[in-house]
Structure 1
Amino acid sequence: MSRTALRICPLCEATCGLSVTVEDAAADGPHGEGGGRITAARGDRDDVFSKGFLCPKGAAFGQLDSDPDRLTRPLVRRDGRLREASWDEAFAAVQAGLRQVIEEHGADSVAVVLGNPNVHTVAGALYPPVLLSTLRTRNFYTASTVDQMPKHVSSGLLYGDPLAIPVPDLDRTDHLVVIGANPMDSNGSLCTAPDFPGRLRALRRRGGRLTVIDPRRTRTARIADRHLAIRPGTDALLLFAMVRVLFDEGLVDPGEPAGRISGVAEVERLAADFAPEAVATACEVPAEEIRGLARELAAAGRAAVYGRVGSSTVEFGTLTSWLVDVLNILTGNFDRPGGIMFPLSATGAAPRPPKPGRGFALGRWHSRVSGHPEAKSELPLAALAEEIDTPGQGPGHPGAPAGPVRAVLAIAANPVLSAPDGARLDRALADVFMVSVDPYLNETSRHADVVLPPPPPSRSAHHDFAFNALAVRNQVRYTRPVLPLADGRPDECEIHARLILCAGGQDGADPALVDAMVIDTALGKAAGDPHSPVHGRHPADLARELTGRTGAERRLDMMLRLGPYGDGFGAQPGGLTLAGLLEHPHGIDLGPLTPRVPGVLRTRSGAVELCPEPLVAEAARLRAGLAARPGGLLLVGRRHLRSNNSWMHNVPALTGGSNRCTVQVHPDDAARLGLTDGGLALLAGDGGELEVPVEITDTVRPGVVSMPHGWGHDRPGTRMAVAAADPGANVNQLHDGARLDVLSGTAVLNALPVRLAPAPEEPAARPAGPA
């Protein structure tokens, strides 16, 4: 019997609403899952945010959900081989392995690695913080340091909160400047905007301008009014030159927030050495183009500068991320409609009277081997391999762990493909006790001693805790599972809760205790807060008012009720609750973004600290290297519409076509190097070399080559048949882990120097000798 159900798509940051066709079944469905399967997916026209938009990833939701290569039972390593086990056996093995490592070597001997998919699930949002507080390890790594950590660091330094990330107010801006981003393919990143392509077209239709700064003529660049094909890695120089123009020509006007901004004069002094003429050669952008863009930005009624991965994963990624906001602030486009604004999530903290905060600190501890400073409590993912395979206590960096990593908890993470020098990490993981929470036996989880597979997304509830804090319109949506779990199979939240209990040596305790503990702690804090609507009330009484079928739903109810739109447990009648949200299956629109300064600020001064000292030092380093710009080829990445890192290459509908692992080369470079379209080339970097097919195209500028991220599915011992049939090459193997953005520890995956040459021809087979 068929029926229709609603589901929020978890496959990229756009968070589109889906209407899925479900084929119910009395018995268990294919591959040991609960009864039923999804046979089709289309956009939900009534969704308050996405309004029916659907991309190819969402259309393939059913294929991904029922992928026959997804694991359905835990795997435990016995006699050197991974074998199916019961859930109790698996968690017993987890606890035994973890506790032995912790008791013999201490908490810092355990590394926790979180992958990108964590921010796409309820469990991945709610439970890892509890796991980290239970383990108390300083060896914490995430995909952020191969992606967006520079934006967290710059926001922390500017606003006092690394999670206070302003987004472009897309639907009201007159001029959008996009640097290092391709939202026509990515659907947006650190800017949650269903139908980002439609929003860009709407900008053009209402007479607005779109400027794209990118070394590739991306799909986004093709629809732009202006495309500056900048030399990779020089983004900070170009943006600094624009800042200089604003000061030189009297175009600085921060507008209403000016009284809450300190450090403007210091920024002017920093920009003095970056005149357009001084940076034009390095950027390979004419000085007049830079001046013109600065003037257009200042003249626009409402404008926004938006930068992402291409301008983040470079040597000066934090400086570039900072300059993006500096330009928005100096032109009066900060915290105002049509500029950049801070979303207000329904599960975020309720507004309260502004006051100075604790500020943001970097380098509170360091990695053991290379002494990398932590950022937002994280160490660089590029350092994980050396933290495992380098013996001894290290040279004594401040606050560093005492010894090597001896156990790894990898949760929805595939760092063998996503981290630099995956070959080294691949070898290192063979020598640690490892637990992987992953639906696939992939390039990383194949090393695990225990694999705990979560159920498919159709069998999980969904709310976007992370992405609603980055949304271009305030709204709230929640969908319950659309298909049942198989008998005896735990949901993803229970898997996480039991993992937390194992980390604390309490396997066998009721997993519901984890949620109860979190609720008790949060309600106790709220009851003691004089600004809270429940101040003075008893936490136990409040807990009894919570609704929900599961502990995770009760936590969501609590967060909604204490949040900025909540009912305050009765203090604000008509406010948000889980029960009220469930009455609106297509979501609740909470309105456009509104100004939030000064309430959003957590700096020690209570103001936007426009010129923090760490960035002053980085500006000096940028200035010192201005004259030394080496030639040669530079590598940049690229996004595909039908892909998202390494975790969708096993879905047939999302393979082939333009989603190919090739090295793109400009025709002039191809002719100079003797390369042919479709032929093989050797691409070499600091970390190794790859043999890859050549794609000759003028969409990359001369001197630049481009490869996509997330490929390299050719290792033995994995169970991803579709991906293995077209494995591609792991571009991150070209990186040896040494090139990092100093402040954030983010790997320099763009503007990476490389060498390219035709692959040597295979020697002709010798004729067979006489019989």
Structure 2
Amino acid sequence: MPKSTIVSEQTHFRTCTLCEAMCGIEIKHDGKKVLSIKGDSNDPFSEGYICPKATALQDLHEDPDRLRQPVQRTADGWKPISWPKALDQVAAGIESVQKKYGQNAVGIYLGNPNVHNMGGMLTVKHLLNSVKTRSRFSATSIDQLPHHVVSMHLFGHMLRIPVPDVNRTQYMLIIGGNPLASNGSIMSAPNMRQKLKDIKARDGKVVVIDPRRTETATMASEHHFIRPATDVLLLLAMLNEIYLQGYANKVPASTNKAAALAPEIERIATFAQDYSAESVARITGIEATEIKRLVKEFCEAKSSVCYGRMGVSVQEFGLLCQYLIMLINIVTGRLDQVGGLMFPNPAVDVVNNTGPGYLGKRHSRVSNLPDFNSEYPVAAMSDEMLVEGDGQLKAFISVAGNPVLSTPNGAKLDKALGQLEFMVAIDYYVNETSRHANIILPPVSPLEREHYDVTFNNFAVHNVAKYSPALFAKHSNAKHDWQIYLELAKRLDKKAPIKTKVERSLISALGPKFLLDQGLKRGPYEGLTLKKLLKNPHGIDLGVMQSMLPQALKHKDKRIDLNVDFYLTDLERVQTMRQQYDAGQILLIGRRHVRSNNSWLHNSYRLVKGKSRCTLMLHPQTAAQQGIEDGQLVKVTSRVGSVVLSAEVTNELMPGVVSIPHGFGHSRKGVIQRIAQAHAGVSVNDLTDDTLIDQLSGNAAVNGVPVQLEAVEPQSIEPAAIEGQSFTSLATEQQQSGTSIAS
């Protein structure tokens, strides 16, 4: 082989940034191109495991649809624009709207990928502070907001969230969670399949309660169907049974440290007294004898943990459900105990370096929903743009998000974005949301940036620390997210305090890794520095979770504040629901898949292979009642809209429940993601209702949406044309300008 064709293979170790699991990966490359991606067997956290998503890191980096430089929307399509001009125009657009309508007329949305980005997480405050608007939103309120509120109330900080000690528990009760698809979720835990197998192998038990027989339910010891959005009744009945069966009093005070630290614990004995197992059985679909047995087994196990996730959080009683899950763990002595719920001890102590959070200091202008930690619920976002009056949103900044596909009543938000006076997206795709922007500012790909999991080590089931340098150097005409934030802050916040300007100058010169190094040096592990992490590319094992009470508590009195009165008020809504419950309704739920992550991995050709995953799952009984056959097109209609997709008749769903996966719907005009468009599917959030919310927290309720079904003939449906900017013409424009938007 001629020397000129010899490839010099190199190896790079890093953390996969595409979900919460923080899997270690080993990348073979030649300095310019990825040759292979596989699991890093020496990573102390994932031990060689990776899921199919890891290969998408290569797809994202090489994607010809990915933007490489700023673009501006014109009457003739997207045009490349220089960074200085783009940043100047963005700043001018924001300032113009604020001068005309007020500071709060500009809204900001932070999408899910932000928390997977070290530089973004450590510096986004500079963007937020420079815009000086109260109109802030994020993916938090369509996801994990109830977790944060409960932890803020009970433990004194919104990020002091205990996670299941899955590596040592004997009994795991999973309600509304599918960790085999999510690799955890507010429980960073790679290779959950093996972890659940290990529980069963040590004569333990895994029980799943879910309206769908999920991937997790299939391998569990047992699975129970439950009617969507009735989890609150089941949890109330379980809490009641714990006291009726005497288990709350069987745990010695010396053992149940958490209960001893909760002054209001005696009030919990009567909290759920009106909810017997018999009274909830018909509505939930779980027999009273089974509820009582589950409580008995949970309490008598050597160790046990109750864990609830998305299916519990994103419903009309999401906050009360998460509160009840925490109460069940506390009164049975499972909080801060080996095999129960335990507090991670991350190397970068985010809890001690951020504010505790708050709920309801302000309320949204139109729907009067409470803010949380300076963010309004996303369910309020469309109305804030559409309803005229003082404070109406006239401009919008979307940062690494696609809320048109990921927030309730996406069609309404789509319309709202289309009538704004100015919009900017910080994103490297022209997607369903960013297509409305006047200017798109694209950051580098994940492989071109350094990484440390600032966020997800807070939820890790085993304490570790790992730093990953960038694999590839960014192009000279490219910018990191943090560079974009700082450039905009410099233009928008010219009168910033000297201290702030100095900090921004240091970050600009040294990069965010100097902030990381400071965080490590101030953390709980003496001698742990960035330099030490650089010498350990596979990561450093910091040990199993340990008991952390009362030190973990952030309340000044070092007590657990159960905040009973706040949660008691919501029982009135529960009573109303129980009295008015319509068992004849067909209810819609979402679903996740291990080869997907919300809407942002559907342009990876590796991950969309195989048969279509965007189908309407429904039970054979429901299909027969509605006259629907497997594979037939079905029109699904809710209060806010309709979609048409193919039926998948399966015993995975309980009767009366249908399921559509989250994140699809890529056929809207103007999207430039060719692979995603070829696998467009429909958006479940064209059906979810922005008026269905958890009133207590403001979190969106996208599970348990009432829908109607109608079998349709193919000839009665007009095929959805994929319209919009031609990518060929865009590429031609790049060549003519001598620049590159996409490779």
TM-score, with length taken from structure 1: 0.88
155-164 vs 129-138, which moves further: 129-138
CA–CA separation in structure 2 for the residues paired with 1:359 and 1:619: 26
User: Do residues 130 (structure 1) and 126 (structure 2) align?
Assistant: yes
Superposition pairs of residues 666-677 of structure 1, within 5 angstroms: 666-677=619-630
Q: CA deviation at 1:467?
A: 0.2
Q: In the alignment, which residue of structure 1 is the partner of 2:264?
A: 263
Q: In the alignment, which residue of structure 2 is the partner of 1:662?
A: 615
CA–CA separation in structure 1 for the residues paired with 2:621 and 2:492: 56
**8 Å contact from structure 2 (residues 369, 377) kept in 1:** yes
CA–CA separation in structure 1 for the residues paired with 2:600 and 2:344: 28
Which deviations, in whole Å up to 9, do the C-alpha atoms of 1:230-286 show, x marking residues without a partner?
111111110111110111111013612332112222222221001101111111100
Q: CA deviation at 1:165?
A: 0.8
226-235 vs 120-129, which moves further: 120-129
CA–CA separation in structure 1 for the residues paired with 2:563 and 2:272: 11
**8 Å contact from structure 1 (residues 204, 210) kept in 2:** yes
* Residue of 489, 493, 513 corresponding to 1:553: 513
Q: CA deviation at 1:429?
A: 1.1
**8 Å contact from structure 1 (residues 359, 603) kept in 2:** no
Q: CA deviation at 1:102?
A: 2.0
CA–CA separation in structure 2 for the residues paired with 1:261 and 1:308: 24
**8 Å contact from structure 2 (residues 124, 482) kept in 1:** no
**8 Å contact from structure 1 (residues 38, 65) kept in 2:** no
Q: CA deviation at 1:610?
A: 2.3
* Residue of 17, 20, 29 corresponding to 1:22: 29
Which deviations, in whole Å up to 9, do the C-alpha atoms of 1:113-153 show, x marking residues without a partner?
00010011112311222322333322111111111111111
Q: In the alignment, which residue of structure 1 is the partner of 2:729?
A: none
Q: CA deviation at 1:350?
A: 8.6
* Residue of 397, 417, 425 corresponding to 2:413: 425
CA–CA separation in structure 1 for the residues paired with 2:664 and 2:545: 38
Q: CA deviation at 1:204?
A: 1.1
Q: In the alignment, which residue of structure 2 is the partner of 1:273?
A: 274
Q: Which residues of structure 2 form unaligned runs of 5+?
A: 1-7, 719-743
Secondary structure of the structure 1 residue equivalent to 2:330? helix
Q: CA deviation at 1:305?
A: 0.7
CA–CA separation in structure 1 for the residues paired with 2:431 and 2:134: 26
Q: In the alignment, which residue of structure 2 is the partner of 1:312?
A: 313
Q: In the alignment, which residue of structure 1 is the partner of 2:722?
A: none
CA–CA separation in structure 2 for the residues paired with 1:49 and 1:326: 30
**8 Å contact from structure 2 (residues 39, 50) kept in 1:** yes
User: Do residues 736 (structure 1) and 689 (structure 2) align?
Assistant: yes
Aligned residues: 703
Secondary structure of the structure 2 residue equivalent to 1:755? strand
Q: CA deviation at 1:749?
A: 0.7
Q: CA deviation at 1:224?
A: 1.2
Superposition pairs of residues 369-408 of structure 1, within 5 angstroms: 369-393=366-390, 403-408=391-396
Change (3 A) 1:114 1:80: farther
**8 Å contact from structure 1 (residues 516, 551) kept in 2:** no
* Residue of 698, 705, 709 corresponding to 2:662: 709
Q: In the alignment, which residue of structure 2 is the partner of 1:578?
A: 530
Q: CA deviation at 1:157?
A: 1.7
Change (3 A) 1:358 1:145: closer
Change (3 A) 1:686 1:603: farther
Q: Residue type of the partner of 1:343?
A: P
Q: In the alignment, which residue of structure 2 is the partner of 1:400?
A: none
CA–CA separation in structure 2 for the residues paired with 1:10 and 1:645: 14
**8 Å contact from structure 2 (residues 29, 36) kept in 1:** yes
* Residue of 512, 521, 524 corresponding to 1:564: 524
CA–CA separation in structure 2 for the residues paired with 1:11 and 1:722: 18
Q: In the alignment, which residue of structure 1 is the partner of 2:458?
A: 469
CA–CA separation in structure 2 for the residues paired with 1:350 and 1:361: 14
User: Do residues 87 (structure 1) and 47 (structure 2) align?
Assistant: no
User: Do residues 283 (structure 1) and 284 (structure 2) align?
Assistant: yes
Change (3 A) 1:444 1:282: same
Q: How well do the aligned residues superpose, as a CA RMSD in angstroms? A: 2.2
Superposition pairs of residues 743-754 of structure 1, within 5 angstroms: 743-754=696-707
Q: Residue type of the partner of 1:107?
A: Q
Q: CA deviation at 1:517?
A: 7.0
Q: CA deviation at 1:358?
A: 9.5
**8 Å contact from structure 2 (residues 9, 28) kept in 1:** yes
* Residue of 52, 64, 87 corresponding to 1:56: 52
**8 Å contact from structure 2 (residues 14, 537) kept in 1:** no
User: Do residues 39 (structure 1) and 22 (structure 2) align?
Assistant: no
TM-score, with length taken from structure 2: 0.91
Q: CA deviation at 1:763?
A: 5.4
426-435 vs 310-319, which moves further: 426-435
Superposition pairs of residues 750-769 of structure 1, within 5 angstroms: 750-762=703-715
* Residue of 626, 630, 636 corresponding to 1:683: 636
Change (3 A) 1:351 1:12: closer
Secondary structure of the structure 1 residue equivalent to 2:157? coil
Secondary structure of the structure 1 residue equivalent to 2:361? coil
CA–CA separation in structure 1 for the residues paired with 2:83 and 2:352: 43
CA–CA separation in structure 2 for the residues paired with 1:304 and 1:763: 51
Q: CA deviation at 1:61?
A: 2.5
Q: In the alignment, which residue of structure 2 is the partner of 1:545?
A: none
Secondary structure of the structure 1 residue equivalent to 2:708? strand
CA–CA separation in structure 2 for the residues paired with 1:315 and 1:131: 33
Q: CA deviation at 1:505?
A: 4.7
CA–CA separation in structure 2 for the residues paired with 1:708 and 1:764: 21
**8 Å contact from structure 2 (residues 257, 549) kept in 1:** no
Secondary structure of the structure 2 residue equivalent to 1:112? strand
**8 Å contact from structure 1 (residues 713, 728) kept in 2:** yes
Q: In the alignment, which residue of structure 2 is the partner of 1:249?
A: 245
Which deviations, in whole Å up to 9, do the C-alpha atoms of 1:561-600 show, x marking residues without a partner?
111114xxxxxxxx11111111111111111111122222
User: Do residues 113 (structure 1) and 65 (structure 2) align?
Assistant: no
Which deviations, in whole Å up to 9, do the C-alpha atoms of 1:677-713 show, x marking residues without a partner?
1110010111101111100000001011011001110
Which deviations, in whole Å up to 9, do the C-alpha atoms of 1:75-133 show, x marking residues without a partner?
12345743111111110111111111222222211111000100111123112223223
User: Do residues 622 (structure 1) and 574 (structure 2) align?
Assistant: yes
CA–CA separation in structure 2 for the residues paired with 1:749 and 1:231: 14
**8 Å contact from structure 1 (residues 682, 757) kept in 2:** yes
CA–CA separation in structure 1 for the residues paired with 2:585 and 2:388: 37
User: Do residues 9 (structure 1) and 16 (structure 2) align?
Assistant: yes
**8 Å contact from structure 1 (residues 150, 746) kept in 2:** yes
Q: In the alignment, which residue of structure 1 is the partner of 2:442?
A: 453
**8 Å contact from structure 1 (residues 666, 700) kept in 2:** yes
Q: Which residues of structure 1 form unaligned runs of 5+?
A: 25-35, 394-402, 520-548, 567-574, 766-771
Q: In the alignment, which residue of structure 1 is the partner of 2:402?
A: 414
266-275 vs 132-141, which moves further: 132-141
Q: In the alignment, which residue of structure 2 is the partner of 1:197?
A: 193
Q: CA deviation at 1:362?
A: 2.0
**8 Å contact from structure 1 (residues 108, 405) kept in 2:** yes
Q: In the alignment, which residue of structure 1 is the partner of 2:740?
A: none
Q: In the alignment, which residue of structure 2 is the partner of 1:218?
A: 214
489-498 vs 234-243, which moves further: 489-498
Q: In the alignment, which residue of structure 1 is the partner of 2:727?
A: none
Q: Residue type of the partner of 2:568?
A: V
Change (3 A) 1:84 1:153: same
Change (3 A) 1:659 1:159: farther
**8 Å contact from structure 1 (residues 94, 502) kept in 2:** no
Q: Residue type of the partner of 1:709?
A: H
**8 Å contact from structure 1 (residues 360, 603) kept in 2:** no
CA–CA separation in structure 2 for the residues paired with 1:658 and 1:745: 37
